[in-house]
Structure 1
């Protein structure tokens, strides 16, 4: 077992890395073979370059949810997710809402932002007086970087300086970017880095600013809290149309109970977290499938859910006086359809093609609608049969594989559990009893 830091590990070949790990850690003896079995024979060099110290590939299911009708266009939506029932729930909701007008979306904006944080002891009014000149200085400094983006309709749209509340000497220079169909992270960070030195020189060259002492740049980085990059997706139908989801309730009872469950997620943080997780089940699956950054989308979504000082649900529901059931979701959604892995990863590229090579705006609508679809299915289950019935039915195959069930045992189990509750213990007991009967 190792008792010191592994030096120069990143410079070793893959084979050397594995040998070094086997020497240094208590790893299974078949560690090399298990890693090798998941490497791609034809394109492993491409996958190795996606990250560092790559030893193998980690497979996740690439599924599809058909019948999504979004803004009167039809889609088969690719979803990468490992959780049982997510794709099935999205598919069922998509089919239902397709018959009831589909998902209607609104893009409220597509601007992304970045900041240069700096420390300076002067008053904000001195900066405001020079803001126009400063902005032009910074725009000129990054003109070679922004030229190509501007040709695609993007570029820098606004620059402002904002003091940090309760921290009198800390400021942020906020820059709003339009990145067209690109995710834009590298573009934004490159612009911000290029602005740092001109910003510092600007302070040094103006007496009105220099008199307050040295300006110190702390950092330059994009923000994933993309409040100017928002999408709303909505569905609506007469309450009477909800019968396929109402189980043993009347449609009126179902709608009222559904709305109350949605309201609880707006009132209570503990429920809101799980409620929003259900939204991200669908949204993340599309974001991952298309090679986008699901961590950034989640971080922005959770911050948006807490923007009022309490973490609340991202979606809401209302019932109108004319007995119309309405549900909607609004969330930040900074996505791209060019750049990054969107066209480099073979399956991400295929996912984009399956969606008809959409713009970034259209992909925002698709991902948000997948989130609302999963949200609808989850809440509908919660207020009727309960979440576990459908989830555990689909989880049955995982439990059977864990118990190393044969194909005959799997077929028998599927038949046996058609009208019974699935649990890890119930599956284990079923297999034990079946095997005992066969061997007796």
Structure 2
């Protein structure tokens, strides 16, 4: 007789969870367990505040008086460098998660997102004032650069042991009496603010001595231009076809026209880039990262030519496909801060299968390119309000007291009537309740 033991084949994790948006939060967590994205005990921890309590909050910030929550959702359909991923997003604005999931599905039709990232360089700045001779001070600092790098490494033995450390000393002239020294340090999986700030403060007297100047400010820069990430996507024309637009080339050309608008007009570019940051920020918040620093750096990067420009580019690729790229500075961390102490952040990082800071940067950037694509597609076809108002209808229904399946019933009616007033939602809800009491199907 042959071997009668049943061989259990491994379950393939997929980011395509059909009907996910129609299910209850409890059922969605069960789906994640069934698909082996999370263990049962991890799914339980996702409910509520994810184990986050006042004691943990009090250890993170000062003057804590309570907790303030945000919805944690999952963007689906992401394929990044050939691997299917779930993307956790913490955000209060409706349509962002749905938009990211839709755009990720379009990109998956062309192979998904590809990511390249710079080494995790964080830069400290030391301001040098009262410089007597810019030329002499500049020459002295350049000459002493190898010694200065060694002194930096001596200050951060733990970072060196992890493979990081000092990489370059750069000197910039600001005016006739002011220099600034950039200390570029590889901080591995840390964002590195505390590390490089400590280095800047410790090394400032030595730099001032070499330059024969007076040390001023000593702090990192959030313009992390040595720590950029590029995400690219290829969308076949067939994937761009919609019910209202049977020719994918028409949709593509509309997206390209919207891109051109952002390239020509900074007023449009700001809103264009806000669409990028919808995705980036939501991932960073979910994963406990400093989204404010990334925002500041992104907008400075968008202005680096002297004109504020879009962070993305879209063009025509092979066989007429739509091709896009997002290129921006993105300093992230999976070591220290909330990534070590906030249980909800830890669960989000595990759920997304984040392997380190560079991987998290790629994940956030892919979400940013996806939300940008979704916005451009909507704007150039049916308009941005259609998706927004459908989700707004659900929110109005819930505010009126609808629960479970009634939310969809009331929302569908509001959308059909194009009336989104709470009093109308309550009227529809009352009518449905009356129908139920009368036994109507």
TM-score bin (small chain): 0.7 to 0.9
Q: Secondary structure at the match of 1:385?
A: coil
Q: Deviations over 1:315-364 (max 9, x none)?
A: 11111473122111111101111112112111111111122241211111
Match of 1:291 among 281, 288, 293: 288
Shift in alpha-carbon separation, 1:95–1:196, aligned structure 2, 3 A: same
Q: Secondary structure at the match of 1:394?
A: helix
Distance 1:422 1:389 in 2: 13
Q: Please state if 1:103 is matched with 2:113.
A: yes
| Residue 39 (structure 1) shift | 9.1
| Residue 311 (structure 1) shift | 1.1
Q: How do 1:284-433 and structure 2 match up within 5 A? A: 284-320=281-317, 322-404=319-401, 410=407, 412-421=409-418, 423=420, 425=421, 427-432=422-427
Aligned to 1:247: 244
Q: Please state if 1:153 is matched with 2:163.
A: yes
Q: How do 1:82-97 and structure 2 match up within 5 A? A: 82-97=92-107
Q: Deviations over 1:238-271 (max 9, x none)?
A: 3233114x73352121111111011111111111
Aligned to 2:255: 258
Contact 2:130 2:214 in 1 (8 A): yes
Aligned to 2:82: 72
| Residue 285 (structure 1) shift | 0.8
Contact 1:300 1:332 in 2 (8 A): yes
Q: Deviations over 1:286-321 (max 9, x none)?
A: 111111100011101111111111111111111147
Shift in alpha-carbon separation, 1:372–1:98, aligned structure 2, 3 A: same
Distance 2:276 2:142 in 1: 42
Q: Secondary structure at the match of 2:60?
A: coil
Match of 1:46 among 43, 56, 69: 56
Aligned to 2:35: none
Distance 1:161 1:41 in 2: 46
Distance 1:438 1:355 in 2: 41
Distance 1:325 1:139 in 2: 45
Q: Deviations over 1:26-56 (max 9, x none)?
A: xxxxxxxxxxxx9999832111121111100
Q: Please state if 1:231 is matched with 2:241.
A: no
* Further displaced range: 48-57 or 128-137: 128-137
Contact 2:81 2:113 in 1 (8 A): yes
Contact 1:289 1:351 in 2 (8 A): yes
| Residue 126 (structure 1) shift | 0.8
Q: Deviations over 1:208-256 (max 9, x none)?
A: x4xxxxx322210100001111111111133233114x73352121111
Distance 1:429 1:271 in 2: 35
Runs (5+) with no aligned partner, structure 2:
1-47, 435-441
Shift in alpha-carbon separation, 1:353–1:252, aligned structure 2, 3 A: same
Question: What TM-score results when the alignment is normalised by the length of structure 1?
Answer: 0.81
Question: What TM-score results when the alignment is normalised by the length of structure 2?
Answer: 0.81
Aligned to 1:33: none
Q: Secondary structure at the match of 1:303?
A: helix
Runs (5+) with no aligned partner, structure 1:
1-37, 204-208, 210-214
Q: Secondary structure at the match of 1:106?
A: strand
Shift in alpha-carbon separation, 1:422–1:180, aligned structure 2, 3 A: farther
Aligned to 2:182: 174
* Further displaced range: 249-258 or 148-157: 249-258
Q: Please state if 1:183 is matched with 2:179.
A: no
Q: How do 1:51-66 and structure 2 match up within 5 A? A: 51-66=61-76
Distance 1:123 1:130 in 2: 11
CA RMSD after TM alignment:
2.6
* Further displaced range: 295-304 or 340-349: 340-349
